[in-house]
């Protein structure tokens, strides 16, 4: 018979909380600025890269594009009580040997990252499932594509000169079609034109949209958001979509059916998204359209979601 210590009274409750934790997996090149060493690797190969990283092991890596986002995500743990609400996992194509420099930087900046997988050049996406990640961010488009095909929300972090946001609130913005929702609407628009798209959305306004690759992450983020009072929430979300009336109604009713809260909804009717993302103060924006992400990354940190008809 098990002793009380083997099954403490709150064991199941603790496991439930852990299951509800938001888990984000991130690559080393998304977290830190490793541009110089990556260029060396592509130019001179693995041996030169390994020697460089060991030689510069004590040189501090500078923050990368997704560093402010990770800081804010981990900062939510200070507000969530005894058990962390967010866990960030490092997935890196470095070896454990060359990865020591990365963990030195993690320790220097005080990031609460303790779990990692170093694959010595092999794809990292195989470890996203075992870590139960809700989101994967990487500078490696191949790993991102593999993660999306496995059913995980994933985005390629693009180089950006966007300024760091001074607000302590975590602000995340999403495109709609092919990101939160499926890409059926985009397919109609591309194949039959904009008038056919509006007609389709008007006729099917009561039919919920299908879920896209980021539906699960949005739901996990919503669960975390719901733990805080709405008026003082440390998380704010926005839908930033090229849709406009009358195609807005189906979106709103779909989110209502899913039971997911979006704080701001911007229906831009094809306007350039960048200035609106800047006004929202997004810490990161996710979009499937290569044209949209090229515009957005001049204003905010941006993740390209290579999914749907726009990426065929």
3-state secondary structure of 275: helix
Buried b (16+ CB within 10 A) or exposed e, 49-87: bbebbeeeeeeebeebbbbbbbbbbbebbeebeeebbbb
Give the sign of the dihedral formed by CA 263, CA 161, CA 220, CA 70.
negative
Which of the following is catalytic: 14, 33, 59, 175? 175
Residues 6+ positions from 26 with CB-CB distance below 8 Å: 66, 70, 88, 89, 90, 91, 136, 137, 138
Dihedral of the alpha carbons of 162, 100, 56, 35, in degrees to the nearest 10: -30
DSSP bridge partners of 26: 90, 137
Pairwise CA distance, residues 35 & 192, whole Å: 42
DSSP secondary-structure letter at 231? G
**Tokens found for residue 140:** 């490696």
Q: Are 96 and 189 in contact (CB under 8 A)?
A: no
Tell me if residue 175 is catalytic.
yes
User: Looking at the annotation, which residues are catalytic?
Assistant: 175
């Amino acid at each position: 018979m098990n002793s009380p210590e083997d099954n403490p009274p709150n064991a199941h409750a603790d496991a439930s909380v852990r299951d509800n934790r938001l888990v984000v997996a991130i690559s080393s090149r998304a977290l830190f600025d490793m541009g110089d060493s990556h260029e060396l690797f592509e130019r001179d190969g693995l041996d030169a890269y390994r020697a460089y990283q060991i030689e510069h092991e004590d040189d501090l890596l500078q923050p990368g594009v997704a560093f402010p986002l990770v800081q804010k995500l981990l900062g939510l743990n200070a507000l969530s009580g005894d058990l962390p609400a967010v866990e960030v996992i490092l997935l890196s194509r470095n070896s454990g040997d060359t990865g020591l420099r990365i963990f030195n930087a993690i320790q220097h900046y005080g990031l609460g990252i303790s779990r990692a997988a170093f694959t010595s050049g092999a794809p990292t996406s195989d470890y996203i499932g075992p870590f139960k990640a809700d989101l994967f961010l990487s500078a490696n488009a191949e790993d991102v594509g593999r993660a999306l095909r496995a059913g995980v929300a994933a985005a390629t972090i693009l180089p950006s000169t966007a300024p760091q946001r001074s607000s302590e609130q975590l602000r995340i913005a999403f495109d709609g079609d092919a990101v939160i929702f499926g890409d059926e609407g985009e397919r109609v628009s591309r194949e039959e034109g904009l008038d056919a798209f509006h007609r389709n959305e008007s006729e099917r306004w009561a039919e919920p949209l299908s879920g896209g690759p980021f539906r699960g992450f949005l739901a996990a983020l919503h669960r975390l958001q719901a733990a805080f009072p709405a008026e003082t929430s440390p998380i704010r979300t926005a839908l930033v979509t090229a849709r406009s009336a009358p195609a807005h109604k189906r979106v709103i009713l779909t989110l209502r059916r899913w039971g997911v809260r979006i704080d701001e909804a911007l229906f831009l009717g094809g306007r350039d998204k960048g200035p609106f993302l800047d006004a929202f103060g997004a810490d990161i924006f996710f979009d499937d359209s290569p044209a949209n992400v090229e515009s957005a990354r001049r204003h905010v940190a941006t993740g390209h979601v290579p999914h749907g008809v726009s990426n065929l």
